[in-house]
Amino acid sequence: RKWLRPGRVYLFGRTAEDSTSSLTRAQFHGKHITIHVDEVVDGDGANTHARSRVTIEEMNSKKGTLLNGTQIRGQTVVLTEPVNELILGACPHPLRIVWRPVLLSFSFTKREIDAGSWKRLRDQLQQLDIKYI
């Protein structure tokens, strides 16, 4: 399992670089796909139905990639489903990208609110796409 943090780009393939996952099977292209997770839109921390936009860029690999059963070789696709399944090349094991919402509820005293505790915490949670009420 790997948490895809908002504002990051992840490379999946045999080539290991910073912020990447290195795969060792010969069925993958050196740079097979990149997964772009957009920054959280300001105010979305309070919107329990909002989620970070995730974009898959298929790097025109030789054996291609299936996304939810559809070939996406050389394409860039925005994920719209809460559960998505990728088959990289000839690999028999799928890569699943699953949206798992996290919602936290807090209670602060007036003194804590006046001291800015809630605002600092809210700003930190929103950057991680963690929802709050």
In the predicted structure, residue 22 carries a pLDDT above the cut 50: no
Task: Give phi and psi for 119, each to the nearest 5.
Answer: -65, -45
User: Positive or negative CA dihedral for 122, 124, 125, 129?
Assistant: positive
The answer, yes or no, to whether residue 16 has pLDDT greater than 50, is: yes
Query: In Å, how far are 18, 25, 64, 122 from 78, measured between CA atoms?
Result: 23, 26, 17, 27
Structural class in CATH, domain 9-99: mainly beta
Tell the burial category of 127 from Cβ atoms under 10 Å away from its Cβ (0-12, 13-18, 19+).
middle
Q: What was the pLDDT predicted at 21?
A: 52
- Domain ranges in the chain are 9-99
Distance between CA atoms of residues 83 and 35, nearest Å: 15
pLDDT tens digits, one per residue of 29-41:
567 899 999 999 9
Q: Which residue type is seen at 45?
A: G
On whether the pTM is more than 0.85, the answer is no
pLDDT one-digit tens code per residue, 42-100: 999 999 999 999 999 999 998 899 999 999 999 999 999 999 999 998 888 899 999 99
